[in-house]
Structure 1
Amino acid sequence: MCARKTYYIFVKATDDRQFCAIRQDQPIPQMIDGVQWMYVSCIDTSRDKPFGFDVDAAHEAMRHRGVYFYRRELMFRRTNFLLEAA
């Protein structure tokens, strides 16, 4: 088990809001080919909190599937001419 819970983060080439995380101590699945999924960064969940990343869901996904998928989406609405996060 990876003590620091470090994950490699990949982004889907056709959807820049779709991400995939793989714990550093696990093998990289064949679907991560550098074409459809591209490496973005490495995060340490003890200090990094990427938007949309759920540490508990990532841990559970790694136990069952060996990969964690998540989305980063920002929703904005117009109220009195100011943009606010929804």
Structure 2
Amino acid sequence: METPSYLGMWVTKDGYIRHELLPGGRYDEARGNRKSAYRGNYTLTGNHIDYVDDTGFTADGEFRDGILYHAGMVLYRERQGLAPASAR
């Protein structure tokens, strides 16, 4: 089951990757101008997140200090349409 504090949009520093954790254990990831480049399910165990996209590909990540580390990427929670100032 999702942890409400992790729900919402997570973005890379350059804004190229936009990774949205949705209620109900679904996610939707945009890459550049490509909306919904990847979609699938996620499960959370503490600060660890496991993904299975709709094609069966798996990945994982970890939340640490308000940052999502996922598949070699660093994503920051988006607030009011912008990544945190510390990420820019």
Shorter-chain TM-score bucket reads under 0.3
Which is helix-richer, 1 or 2?
1
Higher relative contact order (CA 8 A, sep 6+): 1
Which is strand-richer, 1 or 2?
2
Higher Rg of the two aligned structures: 1
Normalised to the residue count of structure 2, the TM-score between the two structures is 0.27
